[in-house]
Amino acid sequence: MMKLFLDTADVDEIRTAARWGVLDGVTTNPTLFAKVGGSDDDVLTEICRITPGLVSVEVVAEDVDGMLREGRRLAALAPNVVVKVPMSESGLETIARLAEEGIRTNCTLICSANQGLLAAKAGASLLSPFVGLLDDINEQGVEVVRDLAALVGTNVPRTEVLAASIRHPRHVTEVALAGAHIATVPLTILRLMAHHPLTDSGIAQFRRDWSAAHAGQGHDTDRDEVTTRRSHHVGD
C-alpha cells in the first residue's frame, strides 16, 4: 500500500495525522520552516521524534561542498532524517557522495523520468516528481510518476518514488494507481480525503433520525443515572 507523508513543518499538524494512524513520514522545505518560525533544528528534532517514519529535510546551498556540509549536519540530528537535494548536476554529485557515506537522500524537483533515472543511479533513496507543477504547464505529472515507478521497479529496487506537489485528493488516487511508493500531501488534502459530501450528509441524517425516533422517550442522562443508583441500592 502506498505510504502517506505529511508535507509540513507544523508540529501540531503532524500530531494530528499521527493520531489518525495514517502518518508514515514527513517532508519539509525551507519555506515550510519559515512559516512556523523558531529554531529550525529544534523544530526538526521534535518532528523527527513524533514521526514514525522518514523525515525529509532540504539543503539550501547550491554548491557541492555546501550541500555536503548541510547534508551531513542534518543527517546527524536524527536517525530518520533523509537529506533532500534538488535535481541538478551538483545535486547528483552530492547525492552520490552522501550515498557513499551511508546518508539517505531525496532528490527533489524532478520533472522528467530521465532526471529520476539519473538520481536513482546516483544513489538517491527517494525520487520526488512534482506532479502539480508539471500539470501547471500542461504536462502529465502522473505519467512521470508511472514511468519512474516502472524504471525503479525494474532497475533500482532500493529507490522509492515519492509523488510531490499534490494539489487535490484525486491526485493521491492517481499516483497510487500509477505505482508511487509514497505521496506527500498537506493536511488540508488529508482532511479532504477523509470527507465526502454524501458521507457527511449521511451521518447528519442518521443523527436526525435517531433524535426523532427517541424524542420524548426519556433518554435523559441524569435521570438514567438516578434510576441506576436506586436499582443498585435495592439490590444491596
Cell of 125: 533513496
Looking at the predicted structure, is the pLDDT value of residue 64 above 90? yes
In the predicted model, what is the mean pLDDT of residues 8-32? 96
Domains of the chain in start order, with CATH, are 3-193 (3.20.20.70), 197-235 (no CATH)
Query: Quick one: how many helices (H) and strands (E) in the chain?
Result: 12, 8
Pick from 93, 65, 70, 96: nearest CA to 83: 70
Which H or E run contains 8? none
Whether 84 is catalytic is: yes
Using one digit for the tens of pLDDT, what is the confidence trace for 171-216? 999 999 999 999 999 999 999 999 999 999 999 999 998 999 888 7
pTM recorded for the entire structure: 0.87
Using one digit for the tens of pLDDT, what is the confidence trace for 91-122? 999 999 999 999 999 999 999 999 999 999 99
Catalytic position from the list 3, 35, 84, 121: 84
Looking at the predicted structure, is the pLDDT value of residue 230 above 60? no
How deeply is 120 buried, as exposed, middle or buried, from its count of CB atoms within 10 A (0-12, 13-18, 19+)?
A: buried
